[in-house]
Amino acid sequence: MANSAAVCTSFKVDLLNGIHAFGTTVTRGGTGADTFKAALYLATGSLGAGTTAYSATSEVSGTNYTAGGVTVTNATAPTSSGTTAFWTPSASFSWTSVTLSTAFDTCLIYNSTQSNKAVAVYTFGSQTVTAGNFTLTMPSNDSSNALLRIA
């Protein structure tokens, strides 16, 4: 057995659980689990790695769509397998009987408890919905496929 440099897998899971704070000021409020939300964005938007928080700019609008999106169902705590920490929402994101006439291709997950701070941006083929349902189906919650992974 020899020593090896690594980011500890437990730390990766801890990051997803909000355990560590490297900043000079601890700004996290509350000790309970945060509420996360998912919002949809137009194909003309410019979300990406530089996105820092939820914004209504370029968000879709239409019948039965509420600005800010839907609450993410979070019944499964982050975990790890091998050296990868991961997390996946425990239910798909669904919008029912919506009409979204302008093409959209992006979903932003953000933390509505922590000042709407951004988590991740997911893109997919450009879509419209007419008086129908839109569903983003979650992948398997494992180290290869989970929606959010720290490898």
Residues engaged in binding other proteins (CB under 8 A): 5-7, 11-12, 97, 99, 120-125, 127-139, 144-151
Q: Pick from 76, 49, 47: which is nearest to 146 by CA?
A: 76
In the complex, the smallest distance separating the C-beta of residue 59 from other proteins, rounded to whole angstroms, is: 17
CA distance 111 to 66: 17
User: Do the bridges between strand 93-111 and strand 148-150 make them parallel or antiparallel, or are there none, so unpaired?
Assistant: unpaired
Coil vs helix vs strand at 12 = helix
Q: Are 102 and 41 in contact (CB under 8 A)?
A: no
2 or 5, CB closer to other proteins? 5
29 or 97, CB closer to other proteins? 97
14 or 34, CB closer to other proteins? 14
In the complex, the smallest distance separating the C-beta of residue 90 from other proteins, rounded to whole angstroms, is: 15
31 or 60, CB closer to other proteins? 60
In the complex, the smallest distance separating the C-beta of residue 104 from other proteins, rounded to whole angstroms, is: 10
One-letter identity of residue 73:
T
Q: Are 87 and 146 in contact (CB under 8 A)?
A: yes
In the complex, the smallest distance separating the C-beta of residue 116 from other proteins, rounded to whole angstroms, is: 19
